Amino acid sequence: MANTLLKVTGLKVAYGGIKAVKGVDFEVNEGELVTLIGSNGAGKTTTMKAITGTLPMADGDIEYLGKSIKGKGAWDLVKDGLAMVPEGRGVFTRMTITENLQMGAYIRDDKAGIAEDIEKMFTIFPRLRERKDQLAGTMSGGEQQMLAMARALMSRPRVLLLDEPSMGLSPIMVDKIFEVVKDVSARGVTVLLVEQNASRALGIADRGYVMESGVVTMNGAAKELLNDPRVRAAYLGE
């Protein structure tokens, strides 16, 4: 039986009277790459913010490792192995790439391990090695996205949450980002990927959930969803 790491039950989130998420249920099992797809405004990012405690829940529960994390702050969640790369990346623009990676390891005190992991990030993201002494703010959007992912991985997360990693990137950079997400998953990190680019997300995921207007309308194996006529019509322009 699969070990469920993250379980969302009956999640409701409201913004000033507007119900953005209206009772969402989904789960992510150990070792899986699960994607949450849907158009802009479907409630995907709101769901992610509720998981990480940056938005309060109106109702429902979120369990991580079998325990409720309702009301827990992002700091505690990172310590527990739940890391998020937010939409818009959020890198420290006035710090170098190397300094950003060191910041990603702020919960750790194993200097040798941190140095080893920075080297590992440079292997996964060769472009960061080339620019390691450059200020993050001078990098392209795609490079900043790579840095944000690498920085999150520096905390050695058990579950990595990715919110719209391909947004606003060039097609070449989108290819690279999806390659990296697949690589991170293959290395044993459990991934929850929120993504508007449904075909690319379902192309690398194990399972998927489709969100529309704050509710999950479909779920199943990623390959099945990718071939479902309703998904193809709604998200793949067919």
CATH number for the domain including 12?
A: 3.40.50.300
Residue 238: predicted pLDDT: 58
Only one residue has tokens 């899986």, namely: 32
Span 55-72, pLDDT tens digits: 889 999 999 999 999 888
- Domain span at 125: 4-235
**C-alpha–C-alpha distance, residues 148 and 142, integer Å:** 10
Span 176-225, pLDDT tens digits: 999 999 999 999 999 999 998 999 999 999 999 999 999 999 999 999 99
- 3-state secondary structure (DSSP) of residue 97: helix
Count of domains for the chain: 1
Closest Cα to residue 21, out of 6, 10, 33?
A: 10
Q: What is the pTM of this model?
A: 0.93
